[in-house]
Structure 1
C-alpha cells in the first residue's frame, strides 16, 4: 500500500523556511510529499528577515527546489492534504486557475489544509475563508478581512479543515496541528 500523498505548493520566491520545514516534517511521518508549481521545473526559494532598524523584510536568495508536477496536471483526489507556503510566490500564484481549483477542492472535501504567511493570498483568492479565523503575517491581514475572514495574530489558528500560521517562526506550532489533522484524515 502506498503512502498517503500531501501536496506542497511552490513557485519562484517561495520562502525557504516556510517550504523546507514542512517538506521534511511531513515526510518524517511517512507521507509522500509531492511538490507542485506552475510548471514542472526548478524554482528559486528565498529567505526573508527583518534586519535591525527595518520595518519590512529583506529578501535574499536561498535554496532551489524542483516541482514534481505542474498545477494543471494535479488530480486533487489523489491527495490527503495541502500545504500552501509563503514568501512572494503567492502574489502571482493566486492568479493560476488550476491552483485555485485545487485549493477549492480541498475545502469542498474538508481535507486538511495548512497555510503560512503569504499563502493566505492563495486561499483568499480561492474564496474559501469567508467566516473563518485565519493567521497570517500582519501585513497580509487585509487579504483576510477583504475575503470575509477574521485575522488572528497567533502562531497557530485552526478553523475547521484549515490550520494557519503567521510566518516560519511559527512552524513548530501550526505544523504540529497539521500533522494531527493529517493523521486523523488518514484513518
Structure 2
C-alpha cells in the first residue's frame, strides 16, 4: 500500500514551512513527493519580521533561501496514489491557486476525506479549490479572509483540527501539528488508500 504524501510548491515557497514536513514525514516512512507546475528547481524564500530593524516591520520581510527540486508536474499527478496532502506557505500559493490541475488535486483530498495539513498561506489553495465552506481552520492573521470569504470559520489559535483538515498559523506551531497528523495518516492507512469515508479526529 502506498505511503505517499503530496507537497505542492512553486517559486516563493517558504522553506521552513516546506523542508520540515519533507524530513519529518520521511522519518516515519512516508515518501514526500514534491510537485510543482513543472519538473525543475524552484526558488525558496525565508519570511520573518526582522526583530532588530531600526524601522519596525508590520509584515514579514522576504529574502532568498534554499532551492528545492520537484519530481512531478501537477498535470501528471493521480491524487489517488497519495495518502495525504501538505500545503505549505510562502508566496507560492498566491499564483499556484490559479493552476487548475492543482485545484483538481486539492479537491480530491477533501472530497475523499484524506488528511490535509495546511500552514500559513497554504490555506489559499484550499480556498481557491472551494474546500473551506463550513470548515474551521487557522492561518497567519493576514490570511484570515482566505478562510472567511469562502464560507469557512477562522480561529486565531496555533493549531486547529476539523475532521481531515489540520491547520496551523506558521511553522512556529509545527510542534502541535505533526503528532495529530501522523495519527490521522495512520487511520487513513487503516481505511485504505482512496476510501470514501470522512476521517473524524
TM range (shorter): over 0.9
- Residue 104 of structure 2 corresponds to residue 101 of structure 1: yes
Q: Deviations over 1:71-108 (max 9, x none)?
A: 00000000000001100000000000000000000011
Task: Structure 1: state its 5+ residue gaps.
Answer: none
- Tell me the CA shift for residue 177 of structure 1: 1.6
Larger Rg belongs to? 2
Supply the distance in 2 between the matched residues of 1:176 and 1:43 (Cα, whole angstroms). 29
> Which residue of structure 2 aligns with residue 28 of structure 1?
27
Q: Could you tell me whether the CA contact under 8 Å between 2:2 and 2:83 is conserved in 1?
A: no
Tell me the residue number matched to 2:59.
56
Aligned residue runs from structure 1 range 131-142, under 5 A:
131-142=134-145
* More displaced stretch, 46-55 vs 94-103: 46-55
Matches of 2:2 and 2:130, distance apart in 1: 30
Calculate the TM-score normalised by the size of structure 2.
0.90
Whole-angstrom distance in 2 between the partners of 1:100 and 1:94: 7
1:25-51 per-position Cα deviation (integer Å, ceiling 9, x unaligned)? 110100111111011111111001101
RMSD: 0.9
Partner residue, 1:45: 44
* Per-residue CA distance 1:5-42 (angstroms, 9 max, x = gap): 11011100000000001110110100111111011111
Which residue number corresponds to residue 120 of structure 1? Answer: 123
1:92 equivalent in alignment to 2:91: no
Q: 2:58 and 2:46 mapped to 1: Cα distance?
A: 16
State the distance in 1 between where 2:38 and 2:145 align.
29
Q: Structure 1 segments of 4 or more deviating over 3 A?
A: none
79-88 or 173-182: bigger deviation: 173-182
C-alpha deviation, 1:3, in angstroms: 4.9
The TM-score with structure 1 as length reference comes to: 0.97
CA contact 2:2–2:81 (8 Å) conserved in 1: no
Cα deviations across residues 86-143 of structure 1 (Å, max 9, x unaligned)? 0000000000000000000001111000010000100000010101111100000011
Counterpart check, 1:143 vs 2:163: no
Q: How many residues align?
A: 186
Shift of 1:178: 1.2
